Structure formats: structure tokens, C-alpha cells
Amino acid sequence: MVKVQLAELQLAIMQVLWEKDEATVAEVREALKPDRSLAHTTVGTMLAKLEASGHVAHRTEGRVNVYRSLLEQEQVSRSMITDLAERLFHGNVADVMCHLLDGCEVTPEELSRLTQLIQDKERELKHDR
């Protein structure tokens, strides 16, 4: 798995690109409002950095660059959560889950889904033996 770590603003920009499929600097800037009031140049600089690191690409449409993500949202989520679990819990999945269950409100539907995921994983592990 490719390790991808994004800072908070980078992740927010990537989320806009995942939602819109592609966007200009102005469209990304607008989508980040009202939570973030950023200069056009700030968003442009962040997109250029994301492109330099291979996370996004652009095409030119007239005088405007249109950006798109080169990474799947699932790939980034998995990489970042795996890294967090390693750094905070030494990779102990049970500790991660206990921490999340104790610290978050969980609906009965979410708990049911978690139970199903655990059962699916148990079946997968039994099958691999």
C-alpha cells in the first residue's frame, strides 16, 4: 500500500476534488468557504504542491487549470488511518476500536454494521487458513 499523508488543508482540497471530480482553483476556493477563507494564491500553491507530489494533475482549459485527483479517496483514508493506528496504538486494531467506541456516539445501525464487518473478517481469516 502506498503511504499517503495529507495535512488538514491538503485533505480538504482533495475532498473537494473527490466530490467534484475536477475543479479550478476558484472552484476549490469557493467550495472551501465559509469554513476557510483562503486567498486564490494559497489554494493555487497548495494544488501545485499536491501536483508536485503526484497527488493531483491538471489540464489547461483556456487560461485556467482544471485539477483532478490522481488518488482514490479510499486509498488515502486507508493509508492515513493505518498510519494513525500505528503511531498511536502500535497497530493494535482492538485498541483503536475500543478508543473509537468509547469516544464516539455509535448508533445501533453503526454497531450492527461493525458487528457484520467483524463477522465477515472472521470468516475471511478462517477461509485463509
29 lies in the same domain as 47: yes
Could you tell me if 43 and 13 are in contact, meaning their C-beta atoms sit under 8 angstroms apart?
A: yes
85 lies in the same domain as 96: no
pLDDT tens digit at each of 129 positions of the chain = 668 889 999 999 999 999 999 999 999 999 999 889 999 999 999 999 999 999 999 999 999 999 999 999 999 999 999 999 999 999 998 999 999 889 889 999 999 999 999 999 999 998 887
Could you tell me if 25 and 50 are in contact, meaning their C-beta atoms sit under 8 angstroms apart?
A: no
**What per-residue confidence (pLDDT) applies to 1?**
62
Residue 79 sits in a domain of what CATH number? Answer: 1.10.10.10
50 lies in the same domain as 106: no
pLDDT tens per residue, range 11-27: 999 999 999 999 999 99
Total count of domains within the chain: 2
